[in-house]
Every structure is written in C-alpha cells, then in structure tokens.
Structure 1
Amino acid sequence: MLKFVTCGQMKILERRANQAGLSYYQMMENAGTAAAEIICEKMPSSLAGMKVLLFCGKGNNGGDGFVVARKLMEQGAAITLALVDGRPVTKDAVTNFDLVKQKSQIIDMTKTDMPFVDVNGRQDLMVDAIYGTGFHGQLNCRAIRAASFINQFKGKIQIASLDIPSGLGGDAVRKSQVDLNAVRADYTITFHNKKPIHLQRFAKEYCGELFIVDIGIDEETLW
C-alpha cells in the first residue's frame, strides 16, 4: 500500500473498485459507518440525547456526512443538517439524504442568511462534511460562514472533519494554497489512505488528529 494517494489516484481507485464490484454506494456506506465509529469513540459519553450539527456539501463528502448522521441517530443523537450549498445532487448522496431528512432538522443555507438561529440550542458536536478531495481554490461565501461558525467553537466542543477539513485542497503542499477560512478540526477522519495535504506540517492546525479508515478498497489488486 502506498504511503499516500493523490486525489486523482483516489478517484481511479474508487472507479476500479466500483468496476470490480464494490459499488460507490457501498464505499460511501463504509466510509460513513467507520467515521461514525471513530466519532463515538472520541465522545466522552454515550451519544444518546446529544445534539450534533453536521455541515454537508451537495456532493459525495456531504453524502458521507448523511451516513454519519444516520449512524449517530441510531445511537440516540439529535441531528441538525446544515446544507451549505443546498440539497445534494450526486446519486448516492441523494439516497442517503432521503434516509435521514425526515428525522433531522434541516437548514438550507442557500435560502437563509441566518442559518443557525434555531439549531435546538447548544450543540455537543459539529461535523464538517462540506468538501472533500474534489475541492480546490477558495471557499464560497456560504462555506466561509459555515467554517467561521464551526471555528468559533474550537476548544469548546468537539469538531470532526470528514476526509479533509473544508478549505484545504487534498493535493495542497503549500500553506498559500489553503483558504484562510478553512475549518480547524480537532480530528480528521480520512478514507482509505492519506492524501498529500495530510503529510504537510502546516496542515496539523487544520486537521488535528488524523484517523485513516478502511472503506473496502484493496489497493494492491487495483493498481
């Protein structure tokens, strides 16, 4: 297994795994399930009755977040989903959103300038599932609002990022490539393997503790 994979290599691995019989949907399910397990382990007590605010993008990183939401809901957590760029658009993300939308409070950030006025009071955990390996460049205005809101709770409640903290490009090797508004997580749960950004010293202040979880890809047989 390689020490890391670029975002492009990760896409190739996912495509080959899908062609070999491990569906994109199953990879998303595996990723979200494994991430939820890490989150449960990191929380100081049971999630029963805890309030969790997840910020989800409209792509597959958001889809991973919807799986996490479902798994935490099964543990008794009260879920609020902040849809940063509106409702999901990718097939598997839509499927997973449909599984949780009826049991979650939904905030569509494309339809309100005040997205966090009514989020059932104080949150116990925030999860960043806005952007993953497909992100590069600068955060849009809604993502900046979301990241700024998350970051003001740094050190007060747990903050988890899925795959890569939003605002960091997965292939970035210089701090100048990072959006200054990027999410600063307590820990990041990345899927299958490290990405180049995870190897950079400056990324520690954004990624926090790094966990790598298996999503079912057999890298040795797919290269």
Structure 2
Amino acid sequence: MDNLLRHNLRNDLNVVLGQADLIADEVPDVSEHTAIIRRVGEQLLQSAEKEREIIDLLTEQQGRQRIDLREAVHESVETVRERHPDATVEVTAPEPAAVYGRPELRLAVIELLENAILHSDDSDPTVQLHLRETETHVELTVEDDGTAIPRIEADVLTGDHDMTNVYHSSGLGFWLIYWAVELSNGHVAAHYDEDSGNRITVSLPRAEEA
C-alpha cells in the first residue's frame, strides 16, 4: 500500500509539474506563479522520497554493519558538491574511522550537509565537516555559520522531542538523521553560537567498541 501511494503521488506530481511548464511556455506573464507551483511540487517529491527512505530504514531488518565512516563521508561530500556546486564543503578526516552502523548513515551525512547549505543566507555557503576518534566513539561534526536551527527541529535530531509537538516539525530530513543514528546505537548533539553558528555532532561507537 505504501509503495502504491508513493507511486501514485509521484506520477500525479509529475503531471502537475509538466502542466506548470506548459502554462509557463504558453503564458509567459504567469511564469512567476508557475515557478511557485514547480517549487512546491518538487519539494513534495523530495518529501515523498525521504518518507520512503525512512520507512525502509525502520522496516528493513538489515542490522548494523562495519562502515569506514571516513570513506562514507567522502562519498557523501562528493554527492553534495555535485548537487550544490556553489557551496564549499571543507572536510577534516585524517584517519580511517570504522563504526558499526546502518548503511543509511551515508544518507544522514548528506542530509546534515544539505540542511546547512540550503538554510544558509549566503549564495555560496561554506560548511565544515570534522571527523575524529575518541577512545570509544567516532565523532562527526558539521558546522555552519547560518541562523539557529529551530528548537523543535533540533529536538528531533537529539531525541528530545515531545510527541505532542513533533507534528510541527517542518521536514523529514532530520527524522532520517535521527533514526539512522539511533539504529546505529549513536546519538546527536546540537549547539548554536551567535558568533560561530550551528554545530551538530553525531557520536557513533567505534567498531571494536560496538
């Protein structure tokens, strides 16, 4: 049923987007309005895709596997750089860092980076990613100089959400991050400083400690 609903939603939204393009071509005076239709439609398509990823994450019993987080980070960064060529992603990940986690951690890294880029006030934003090992954990930190992540969104990330408030959360990306980390026996911390911006740290047990 879930697959059927997603399939129908995707097909119907593609029809809406196609009609918006036709109207923009035939009636250029309304192109500003059709651009809004296209933007909202594309956002709905992205939400449907993230919903699928979350459902798969929660229902597929893949279990945890050994992951070279440094390699996963570099793969995720390349994806983000291709999608957002005007953004700069700086990476500090000097050593291999093995964790036991869900393969969706790669998607979580992409979500963290894209959130920082898309919510920046700069047309060419810079995001920093740091990877380091402690005695028991691997820490992945994403830093940006944007405005503060709303408290209700940060609470989704950290697991401090109240189920009476989660419906006000604006997107599914943070839920994807939360569950990918939670099912990997990790946790997320979010911090904001007026001078330096947002800092989100994902802590995951090292492979030999997991």
TM-score, normalization by structure 1: 0.25
TM-score, normalization by structure 2: 0.26
Give the number of the structure whose alpha-carbon radius of gyration is greater.
Answer: 2
Larger proportion of helix? 2
Larger proportion of strand? 2
